[in-house]
Chain A
Amino acid sequence: MAELVGYLITGVGVGCAYALLGSGLVVIHRVTRVVNFAQGGFAVLAALTVTTLLTAGLPHGLAESLAVLLATGIGLLTGMVAIGRPGTTPQAALIITLGLGVLAYAVEIFLWGDQPRSFPGLPGSTAVLGARVQTHYLLIIGVTAVILGATALLFARTDRGRALTATADDPYAARIVGIDVARMGLLAFALGGALGGLAGVLVTPVQQVSFDSDVVLVVNGFSAAILGNLTRPGLTLAGGLLLGVVQALVGGYLSTAYQTEVALIFMLGVLILRSSSARVEEVTA
């Protein structure tokens, strides 16, 4: 029982990081129709930045915040390169973000080398229902809940958020009522950068990163987001948590070797089922 609770909590913790990454993908995709392949790169870049800032003597909290801020800026830059030129199709923009992801490899190896890195998170462990888990997992869960809640409020309650939602629903109508659609796209990329960076900063203490961790991270984030068809934040959170828990259970009871396959097969399954149901909708519509 205690073992099961332990796996559930670590699973939810890692799943939260996937959900944050996936939410970043969703925000960007809703507003710009672009799937941002560089999303995992934001996480890696932010995490590696924290290792440097901590070594330089900055306290915890400040180092992490600065790294997330940097990821936000990188997200904005990514947006400017990917959709800054009018008339770029979402397909072309996907390829550009793929290129930016590879460019990040060059920068990361140049600055940090190619060995995996990590940094200490919240120390100690806490007893939950008889299971001892690293306290850091609880921190991940708490921060994710606050941030995703704040993001939901941002979209629902603020003018800027409503403008983003309007752009997502109908860019043409949004432009008619005076919303700067191009700026909303860039804002979405910045927000995506922040969410990706946060995911990297949170998960690195329990899971090392190296420059090429971004592929696994973006695939997991995409798997979480695809459950909500890259448009529904609630389902993305559910997808991330489900993925994290199933991976933890598979890793705990079967073998850690199968953990990645779980996410991948889950994603393929959802994609294929969705494509056949989408076809039915097309026919009946």
Chain B
Amino acid sequence: MKWIIALAAAAVVPFFLPPGQLTVYILLGLSAMAVVGLSLLMGYAGQVSLGQASFTAIGAYTAGLLAVHGVPTLLGLLAAPLVAALAAGLVGVPILRLRGHQLAFATLALQLILLSVLGDADWAGGAVGLQGLPYLSAGGFELNQDRDYACLVLAGVVLTTLIASALVRSRVGRGLRALATAPVAAGASGVPVGAYRLLVFAVSAAFAGLAGGIYAFYVGYLAPGSFPVLLSVEYVVMAVVGGLGSIAGALLGATLITLAVQLLTTLATQPGMPSYAPSVLSYAVYALLLIAVVRYVPKGIVPALLLRKGILATLHRRSS
């Protein structure tokens, strides 16, 4: 029920937003898709990825390159998550053996390699990137309004949320939960540890890739600089703040951080503010929120709230 209300609210909002804020809505939705996957990866498979934006980049470049070569845009959008998942599957075999900080640095290294390769690659436009990408069109209908993309993004968020919650509730999800808390015990009980980890990695990459694909058609311009390491860090901040392993937490984290940064950017671009104000304020917000949450609400906001609600309910039952 709560989900239906949230969905209805999210669906109505774009029709009341002025064009400038629709952009924020769309970018928020794109982050939310990637963060749902990352939260699953970090919360259920216990893997820290500091390179999640590389899959956003792979999705975006897949969609962009296909469009540049005249492939129908809808096919490009479908290919984006698939290619991202395939890439994750390929690199995942060697690097998912790593744990904790090692995996964090390995994923970061992969993103730096990808950015550097894209920056040098003539076929991908080099450092200048791909320009003049077409709008997405399906069956003769061209999505050329911000509002169209807002609806598309909302559909994307709903799709990733549904897939993620189906995955969590399935046999695979139970195996993953066992794996997150006690990998050895899970392995001994017959959970195919490696295969499940790879599966979550590929799914999270597909979500990020889908976000990248939509981004490519919405913005119409791609460069290696569109997917900096900081975007990966931003995803991590959103996932950690909302609560790792919680889908609602991922959505809340993405919303909270995007709105906070947007609010501060609006403040910082007021006349009279120095030119460095927007970047200084947004870095400070990411940093302080991340540090505060990890120190004082280590499970993240949504799990902490649920826990408190559960304790209150138990107390209530006992007293009555």
Contact = CB atoms under 8 A, between A and B. Distances in A.
Interface of A: 35, 37, 81, 85, 88, 90-92, 94-96, 98-103, 105-106, 109-110, 113-114, 212, 215-216, 219, 222, 226, 257, 260-261, 264-265, 267-268, 271-272, 275-276, 279
Contacts of B298: 92
B102 A275 contact: yes
B260 interface: no
A100 B97 contact: no
Nearest to A260: B116
A268 B283 contact: no
Query: 7 closest pairs, A vs B, by CB?
Result: A103-B287, A99-B290, A35-B101, A106-B283, A106-B284, A102-B287, A99-B291
Nearest to B284: A106
B233 A102 contact: yes
B294 A96 contact: yes
Nearest to A279: B97
B295 interface: yes
A110 B117 CA distance: 31
Q: Contact size class for B?
A: 35 or more
B18 interface: no
Nearest to B295: A85
A95 B236 contact: yes
Contact of B291 (A91, A103, A113, A260): A103
B55 to A, nearest CB: 17
Contacts of B97: 272, 275-276, 279
Q: Is the interface of B mostly helix, strand, loop or mixed?
A: helix
Contacts of B110: 264, 268
Nearest to A103: B287
B109 A219 contact: yes
Nearest to B115: A260
Contacts of B100: 35, 90-91, 94
Contacts of A216: 112
Contact of A94 (B48, B98, B106, B288): B48
Contacts, number: 120
A105 B228 CA distance: 14
Contacts of B98: 271-272, 275
A127 B65 CA distance: 51
B105 interface: yes
Task: Point out which of A35, A98, A226, A279 has the most chain B C-beta atoms below 10 A from its C-beta.
Answer: A98
A114 B276 contact: yes
A216 B112 CA distance: 9
A109 B287 contact: no
Interface in B107-151: 108-110, 112-113, 116-117, 120
Given A114-B279, A272-B95, A94 B104 contact: yes
Given A96-B295, A103-B283, A103-B284, 8 more contacts: A91-B48, A99-B294, A103-B287, A109-B276, A219-B105, A261-B117, A275-B98, A276-B97
B38 to A, nearest CB: 13
A153 to B, nearest CB: 29
Contacts of B233: 98, 102
Given A215-B112, A219-B105, A110 B291 contact: no
Given A103-B287, A106-B280, A265 B102 contact: no
B286 interface: yes
Interface string B221-247: 000000001100100110010000000
Contacts of A264: 109-110, 112-113
B271 interface: no
Contacts of B48: 91, 94-95
Nearest to A269: B94
A272 B294 contact: no
A261 B115 CA distance: 10
11 contacts: A88-B295, A98-B290, A99-B288, A101-B287, A102-B287, A103-B283, A110-B276, A215-B112, A260-B112, A261-B117, A271-B102
